[in-house]
Structure 1
Amino acid sequence: MNENCTCDVWNSTCNVQNSTCKVNTIEGVTYTLLFLLGLVLNVAALWAFMVKRRSWTDTHIYLINLTVADLALILYLPFRIYDAFYCLEITSLCTVLLSVHYINMYASILTSTAISVHRFLVVRFPFRARSWRKKKQAAFAVCLSIWTVVVTLCAVFRDSNRPCKLWTCFERREDDPLPLNFLVFLLTLGFLAPLLIIVFCSGQFIWILRKVEDDSAEKKNSIAIVTANMIIFIVCYTPFHVALLLDKLIKSPADWRFLPPLEEDQSSEARLGDHIFCL
């Protein structure tokens, strides 16, 4: 790929021109199927919540927030589909799309963390939980705080994904990884802290329920759901964040632009696999 990139450091403007475009039909078809399936499921879930809005509880508010984050991530996929077939030019739109991806992914992660904490508190302090007041207001406040934090962080570090730092519309240059301060925020606040909280709360939830002398199907289903959610979180988000760390630690070769086609294809398929599993 030939590249012509000039940057104005003072006003953060870039002109980037890609002279080659590589069509990836398999990736485009896969994203199309994911988009259609995800759109139907998330819209159906959101509609079900809206129909029952009069009986909303704090749990419903967290689940609605999670659905909105997932739906917004699904609506980002048409741009990936277009890029797979026609290739998007590297412009400021790419910066916006990457920011949208980060915002919705970490909103989903933090909402999942809030749900895990909520489940743990309800099981650990069942009588107190029933007497807690303004639970719905607290849930609204938590969800609003989540969006405020992720949007603010992406706004602060928006220059990290300027067009001149991108190799394609959705890929960074291998010789220009994420800034260390932004990476620290993503790894600690966006992954490690939520991971530890989810593992702790899920483990406590399962341990408390197992102590209850009850073999009901509801108890077994609750344990199975919490266990599955914890495993999915670990398997889904760990590879992405490990890759971010490795990109920072491993120095790219000087000739990274001229990797053999097979190596590029394998890298693209690995990234596609991560997207498929997470969605």
Structure 2
Amino acid sequence: MSCNITNTTNSSCRVDTLEGLAYCPVFLLGFFVNAAALRAFFAKRDSWTDTHIYMLNLVIADSALIVFIPLRIYNAFFCLPTSFLCTFLLFSHYINMYASILTTTAISVQRYLFIGFPLQARSWRKKKEVALAVCLILWGFLVTLGFIFREDNYPEKLWTCYERCKNIPLHLEFIVIMVVCGYLAPLLSIGFCSSRIISILLKEDDMAEEKKRTIGIVTANLIVFIACYTPIHISFIVNYKVPLNWQFEISPEHVYLQVAEWVASTNCCFDSVSYYFLLKRFYPN
């Protein structure tokens, strides 16, 4: 099936100008924040723990998403031709987004185990090896999914470089995997771990300032996760369920998807800041 909507470059670029302007601060802030985080991590590479490995993986995922944003900004103003470069950019964007989501989930679980079972957690061996294996497995899982569903974003199925044709929905299996494995399961895991961490810390008699900050950071991380990733997954479902027989280039669903993608991209600016301070305050070694 091919795209049955004529792509009029001028109107597409005109509409996407706002998108290009919106991504500029995301790129600038995300670039400097993640660069600072990478510098901080490698400055203490001789004393890394399993938490540092998860954190580095998170920063790599966010940084890989950030470095391709200039091409999205360029496309918004000048319109890149639909080609296999666009296919790569789309898969790169979402693979790195879900790598960030899954790594955030792993950090949340690891943090809960560390706080909920401190004696057992400190006695566990090969924690670094386990962390490295988890990171490699999640990247392998995401790249494999990208390879299996690679044809969904081939050039003939793209309306513009960053947008699929409206008359060609994604495979239902792909939608289910993204929503269930990429959002609902991580959300439930992070929600459970965060609530347990907060509950454990609140029950302790000594509520030091450090523990209050930890509760604040854990709460903020959960709120940011929900705020950043809920809209885009709602958009996936809406765009699959709503009949796509639009006669106009821009529909409410189209605008919502663009805004949701931008909101999801802003998460790469928050990750490094929040987890860096948590790492510094709660995992001093």
Same fold (TM over 0.5): yes
Which residue of 1 is the match for residue 9 of structure 2?
Answer: 20
Choose which of 162, 167, 182 in structure 2 pairs with 1:190. 182
Which residue of 1 is the match for residue 248 of structure 2?
Answer: 258
Choose which of 132, 145, 152 in structure 1 pairs with 2:137. 145
Q: Quick check: 1:278 aligned with 2:267?
A: yes
Q: Quick check: 1:125 aligned with 2:114?
A: no
Conservation of the 8 A alpha-carbon contact between 1:18 and 1:90: no
Amino acid in the other structure paired with 2:234 = V
CA distance in 1, matches of 2:53, 2:86: 31
Amino acid in the other structure paired with 1:153 = L
Closer, same or farther in 2 for the Cα pair 1:265/1:191, shift >3 Å?
Answer: closer
Q: Quick check: 1:100 aligned with 2:92?
A: yes
CA distance in 2, matches of 1:178, 1:19: 23
Choose which of 99, 107, 110 in structure 1 pairs with 2:102. 110
CA distance in 1, matches of 2:179, 2:258: 24
Q: How far off is 1:269 after superposition?
A: 6.2
Conservation of the 8 A alpha-carbon contact between 2:157 and 2:164: yes
Amino acid in the other structure paired with 2:71 = F
Choose which of 43, 57, 68 in structure 2 pairs with 1:65. 57
Amino acid in the other structure paired with 1:173 = C
Partner SS state of residue 61, structure 1: helix
Conservation of the 8 A alpha-carbon contact between 1:18 and 1:89: no
Q: Alpha-carbon deviations, 1:201-229, whole Å to 9, x = none? A: 11111111111111211110011101110
The aligned length equals 264
Conservation of the 8 A alpha-carbon contact between 2:167 and 2:244: yes
CA distance in 2, matches of 1:79, 1:18: 19
Which residue of 2 is the match for residue 163 of structure 1?
Answer: 155
Choose which of 191, 194, 218 in structure 2 pairs with 1:199. 191
Structure 2 stretches lacking a partner, 5+ long: 269-285
Q: Between Structure 1 and Structure 2, whose CA radius of gyration is higher?
A: 1
Q: How far off is 1:171 after superposition?
A: 1.1
Conservation of the 8 A alpha-carbon contact between 2:112 and 2:196: yes
Q: Quick check: 1:44 aligned with 2:36?
A: yes
Structure 1 stretches lacking a partner, 5+ long: 7-15
Conservation of the 8 A alpha-carbon contact between 1:17 and 1:89: no
* Percent identity (aligned): 51
CA distance in 2, matches of 1:186, 1:25: 28
Q: Quick check: 1:90 aligned with 2:79?
A: no
Closer, same or farther in 2 for the Cα pair 1:248/1:17, shift >3 Å?
Answer: closer
Name the structure, 1 or 2, with higher relative contact order (CA <8 Å, separation 6+): 2
Q: Alpha-carbon deviations, 1:129-165, whole Å to 9, x = none? A: 1111111111111111111111111111101111122
Conservation of the 8 A alpha-carbon contact between 1:160 and 1:178: yes
CA distance in 2, matches of 1:29, 1:118: 37
Q: Alpha-carbon deviations, 1:86-108, whole Å to 9, x = none? A: 00111111111111011100000
Conservation of the 8 A alpha-carbon contact between 2:229 and 2:264: no
Which residue of 2 is the match for residue 80 of structure 1?
Answer: 72
For normalisation by structure 2, the TM-score amounts to: 0.86
Closer, same or farther in 2 for the Cα pair 1:141/1:266, shift >3 Å?
Answer: closer
Partner SS state of residue 167, structure 1: strand
Q: How far off is 1:272 after superposition?
A: 6.1
Q: How far off is 1:29 after superposition?
A: 2.7
Closer, same or farther in 2 for the Cα pair 1:249/1:33, shift >3 Å?
Answer: same
Q: How far off is 1:25 after superposition?
A: 3.4
